Amino acid sequence: MGNRREFIKNTGLLMGTSLLADTDALFASERRKMSGNGRLRLRFKPYTLNLKHAFNLATSSRTTTPVVLTELEFDGIIGYGEASMPPYLGESHETVTRFLSKVDLSRFDDPFEMENILNYIDHLEAGNRAAKASIDIALHDLIGKIIKQPWYKIWGYDPANAPVTSYTIGIDTAEVVRQKVKEAEPYKILKVKLGRETDKMMIETIRQVTDKPLCVDVNQGWKDRSFALEMANWLHERGVVFLEQAMPKEQIEDNAWLTEHSPIPTIGDESVQRIDDVLKAYKVYSGINIKLMKCTGMREAHKMLDLGRALGMKIMIGCMTETSCAISAASQLSPMVDWADLDGALLINNDVYRGTEVINGKVTLSKLPGIGIKKI
């Protein structure tokens, strides 16, 4: 525990570098330029994403995903945000719009008070993480636009270091799996959903079509640790580079045992929601999957990344089925991660923004300010 505290202490010291001092000076400079008559205005509307293929997981299947698109305006500048609500998060159009209707930003006349604003949002009501993320993302986009810089640059990250992204192959018949793999030709690594009785068929079918590296996401689908280890060894022999959330998050000892014995890294996803879960995941998993919709947005995702790095854990930045708004927001962190799974906007046919692109499989950040998007 002492070493763990020292890691966290060192991370805090690093946060006090000249980079952050320069950022504070930039924020102060832009504050002085504002008219002083602005009001933060929040707008939002429900939207439904249509998937190109049915999205089949270990325990569910869907062809659409509900989202709520937000706008946060100040002094005529608009920041864009998004809440995406896959079923397991427990949020919906109704819960998100109800929560956002309770938000009163009239007490804030300075958008640069990000900590105060986002603390108010977080404590307004428990849960509602995707709803909170929609405001967090919009606020980051707004601030970036005011200071005319993208967030990867504000944080001091080199966009050239952004990794390739995996492309998700959902559980399906052998025929459809082969079709999906062919459609994924531009991508350098494939993420395969497992957790049903067809697991070996899925991998064997993909290996008939490609020898690309694979990662697998079981979505808590395996229950027995001996079986999970047997599968980890079998997958390792077939070019799988990591194993995501093999067993239910409640099986802490089993997951830790698997991590100790597995020939490939294990990643906690459903078990790692917010920053408090990072310490709990230490030595239970090899790494963590950070998603904006789980952790309330960019502010906490950034803190989780720093803490995970301080603990020596592998870091993955992931997504739900989302538009290019939330994908572009998450991609601002991508230059600092080991793996990216930022294909959510690639799986839909009705995106409403353009931002981060995937070029030759690589996450390619926009030079636009804020989260780097524009409306289509």
- CA angle at 110 for the pair 125 and 292, rounded to the nearest 5°: 45
Taking only the tens place, the pLDDT of each residue in 232-290 is: 999 999 999 999 999 999 999 999 999 999 999 999 999 999 999 999 999 999 999 99
Residue type, 135: I
Q: Which residues does residue 56 pair with via DSSP β-bridges, in sequence order?
A: 61
153-375 classified as CATH 3.20.20.120: yes
Q: What is the overall mean pLDDT for the chain?
A: 91
Confidence of residue 25 (pLDDT cuts 50, 70, 90): low
- Rounded Cα gap, residues 294 and 320, in angstroms: 9
Architecture of the 41-148 domain:
2-Layer Sandwich (3.30)
Confidence of residue 102 (pLDDT cuts 50, 70, 90): very high
- Global pTM exceeds 0.85: yes
- Rounded Cα gap, residues 96 and 73, in angstroms: 19
Which two structure tokens, joined as six digits, stand for 180? 């999906």
Question: C-alpha distances in angstroms, 278 versus 24, 99, 241, 319?
Answer: 27, 26, 22, 17
pLDDT, position 26:
56
Contact 229, 254 (CB under 8 A): no
Q: Give the residue extent of every domain in the chain.
A: 41-148, 153-375
Residue whose pair of structure tokens reads 């919906």 in the numeric block? 92
Taking only the tens place, the pLDDT of each residue in 107-162 is: 999 999 999 999 999 999 999 999 999 999 999 999 999 999 999 999 999 999 99
